[in-house]
Chains A and B, each alone.
Chain A
């Protein structure tokens, strides 16, 4: 099986990249998985909980990392980035940040997504007012709050969805797809920490299109008693340590105010800078925002011998990232069998 001599490069060691590596390594191909951080797992490492089954993210990462490490065909290179790429007829010569030059027969981009800068919303005061967090920062805050005295926990936490998503005037017209669910999750986790904390989720719609998603969101509302307020907040006015939120309850059609101790902003997911740069280096197709785009008929292929999986293509939840990693591996294997 000379095909097994084929070498594939996977850029990004999050769930999507690890899944692709596990499948390609499992099929016996020489797989090099590079990661710019000093550990695998990507954004999952920063999460406190997951949806829709409340699984422990650390556990998910640990299991995957174990599968990667136990596979003899996968070489993991941490703290590693790409310096240059030279395209040959049916391969790439890639120079890595450790000066090593390796020839690969295919590449999978799995660099994940970046985040919209929430400070662009002056009306929400992120970066200027205390206690205004991004959703990702709040995952860390939840961990930190585990050890707090109950009296120090916030009495009122408000969650704002669509900060940079579905906003043509400041951000992007698209829906970032996963914020509805992780916001429900974060509000639910806050309630788990302290059922007496009042949680308000300001929403324009809630989108729960996925297996078990609707049930998940309803349980946060019905069992954990998170209050959903339909309306996009207009302004946060800091007032003596509290954050006064002004919004309209669009179901009632009246202005409402909430004096919150903490505000959590679900800022949009955007193409990361490294994704854009790698797309240029590998001549991958991108959409008008800079996300990696697919070639019609090849849902995980983006160029000649260039494949992709996970958030670099569009915001995706952890299970979806794994599906895409597996699918990209399958497309690479199919290509190698045709070579």
Chain B
């Protein structure tokens, strides 16, 4: 499988630990990631907010490079980037006028392939990969009760993404169960954390992330598992303030899916960037003999 890798700005910045763990785990599983050469920012959420042609063009340039690299798929581990790249590719396929305009803007034929995948899709759609992961588990995540959090953009909009049930998604739960963990049934697994508003209108994120945290807490989860740097950063770095608004304190670790995959596959928390979280997952992992 030749997979073009689009890390996006967050995996180089705010969510470095996600980027690190994605690379470690993919390498371990024989998924050969090739970073898109000289990729540019997808523009989320500024570009789509202010200029439609720009948001499509920014993604189109990245996809055109991946196409020229002759890759089968593009992996975008950030749900925001995924949504923009996937949405652009959908529009370019279905809107010939726009495709012509964009070709003019990026000075290259508008790309219609390769297919853009998020991390959950990449794992679930590759035949046999989930079984392979399960068979390679050396440190089962026994005793962990996890809230698998999908947020909004890993499965939405359904017409474009065409993956899992956007309202009651199960794919991440299946992966976590394959690693030996338990997952809780909870209400907010596919509701929004506030996305890109963390800096510009923090109250929105405190409100929405607060609802997600409260829901996971009430469902009895030990930690929330995420597959998006925006969800990860919002729920981790804004947790204290969001909880304080409700007069609470959760101390709920927010862990990237690939970090937990890494642990189960035998890597140490340090190798997976686990020291970088504001709410440390170490006490939880230690209590279960996983660190």
Residues of A within 8 A of B (CB): 121-123, 125, 128, 235, 237-240, 244
Contact A123 B188, CB 8 Å, known A237-B215, A239-B218, A240-B218: no
Contact between A237 and B187 (Cβ–Cβ < 8 Å)?
A: yes
Q: Mostly helix, strand, loop or mixed at chain B's interface? A: loop
- Of A122, A238, A239, the residue contacting B167 (CB under 8 A) is A122
Of all A-B residue pairs in the complex, the 10 with the closest CB atoms, nearest first, are A122-B167, A237-B187, A122-B168, A123-B167, A122-B165, A238-B187, A128-B168, A239-B187, A240-B218, A122-B166
Task: Assign chain B's interface to a size class.
Answer: 10 to 19
Contact between B168 and A238 (Cβ–Cβ < 8 Å)?
A: no
Point out the residues of chain A lying under 8 angstroms from B185, CB to CB: 128, 238
Point out the residues of chain A lying under 8 angstroms from B191, CB to CB: 235, 237
Residues of B within 8 A of A (CB): 165-168, 185-188, 191, 215, 218
Point out the residues of chain B lying under 8 angstroms from A123, CB to CB: 167
Complex Cα distance, B186 from A88, in Å, reads: 60
Complex Cα distance, B185 from A123, in Å, reads: 14
Closest residue of chain A to B155 (Cβ to Cβ) is A122
Point out the residues of chain A lying under 8 angstroms from B186, CB to CB: 238
Point out the residues of chain A lying under 8 angstroms from B166, CB to CB: 122
Point out the residues of chain B lying under 8 angstroms from A237, CB to CB: 187-188, 191, 215
Contact between B187 and A244 (Cβ–Cβ < 8 Å)?
A: yes
Point out the residues of chain B lying under 8 angstroms from A240, CB to CB: 218
Point out the residues of chain A lying under 8 angstroms from B218, CB to CB: 239-240
Complex Cα distance, B215 from A235, in Å, reads: 15
Closest residue of chain B to A124 (Cβ to Cβ) is B167
Interface contacts beyond A128-B168, A239-B218: sample of 13 additional A-B pairs, CB < 8 Å, sorted by A: A121-B167, A122-B165, A122-B167, A122-B168, A123-B167, A125-B168, A235-B167, A237-B187, A237-B191, A237-B215, A238-B185, A238-B187, A239-B187
Closest residue of chain B to A127 (Cβ to Cβ) is B168
19 contacts between A and B (CB under 8 A): A121-B167, A122-B165, A122-B166, A122-B167, A122-B168, A123-B167, A128-B168, A128-B185, A235-B191, A237-B187, A237-B191, A237-B215, A238-B185, A238-B186, A238-B187, A239-B215, A239-B218, A240-B218, A244-B187
